[in-house]
Amino acid sequence: DIQMTQSPSSVSASVGDRVTITCRASQGITWLAWYQQKPGKAPKLLIYAASTLQSGVPSRVSGRGSGTDFSLTINSLQPEDFATYYCQQSYSIPYTFGPGTKLEI
Amino acid sequence: EVQLVESGGGLVQPGGSLRLSCAASGFSFRTYWMHWVRQVPGKAPVWVSHINTDGSTTDYADSVKGRFTVSRDNAKSTLYLHMNSLGDDDTAVYYCAREGISGFDLGYWGQGTLVVVSA
């Protein structure tokens, strides 16, 4: 199975800050997605194919990377951005998620 | 609007069985791969299974292989997860999800249904 790691596991930031979360795969992958999850809610797709923004996601969110190293950046943090973020590979079965990064105020 | 509504969760004894359903609306159900993902509260999601458009191809996580069966009824726009030989570590919120535009991501999720395995 492809193992996904994320760093940091948690980060504190303020409204208006920029935050970058990194995700690393245990082997090279070509399909990576990022999800946002708020307490009691289902995960929400933010980015697919490493860097393509899902419809409706604000442009302050961006993703980049290839191979084994990927990142999610959120510029100008807004109150609604404080949540937990997961990366997920769909390059091979079983699809696997990273352990998550909790973005806290 | 894409809607996915799970049902069928609840309390079940160890060794028991349960069938989850996911009613889909707002899109052409028969043209999308569908997935089940589970999540223990406070932990990362775990992919469980997926099924192709006509039900002829399925895959499972090793942890559920041989115990869970995914199926679909395209005429009813409904996805199912038949779960047998349930154990404590199957306790989780179970989500159904639809593939996204890329075909390789989980673009839409239901609200989840809680399964608790306990004596």
Average pLDDT per run of 10 along chain B, which is 119 residues long?
Answer: 97 98 97 97 97 97 98 98 98 97 90 97
Quote the CA–CA distance of B55 and B1 in Å, as a whole number.
24
- Which residue in A35, A42, A52 is closest to B112 by CB distance? A42
User: Would you state the structure tokens that stand for residue A61, as one six-digit string?
Assistant: 């969110």
Between CA A90 and CA A30 the distance in angstroms is 8
Among candidates A43, A90, A100 on the partner chain, residue whose Cβ is nearest the Cβ of B104: A90
- pLDDT beneath 70, residues of chain A: none
Report the alpha-carbon distance of residue B29 to residue B69 in Å, rounded: 19
Burial status of residue B35 (CB atoms within 10 A of its CB: 0-12, 13-18, 19 or more): buried
A42/B110 Cβ within 8 A: yes
Sequence-ordered strand ranges (E) for chain A? 4-7, 10-12, 19-29, 32-37, 44-48, 52-53, 61-74, 84-89, 96-97, 101-104
**What confidence score (pLDDT) does residue B104 get?**
84
Cα–Cα distances in angstroms (integers) from residue B89 to residues B21, B24, B31, B47, B85, in the given order: 20, 27, 33, 14, 11
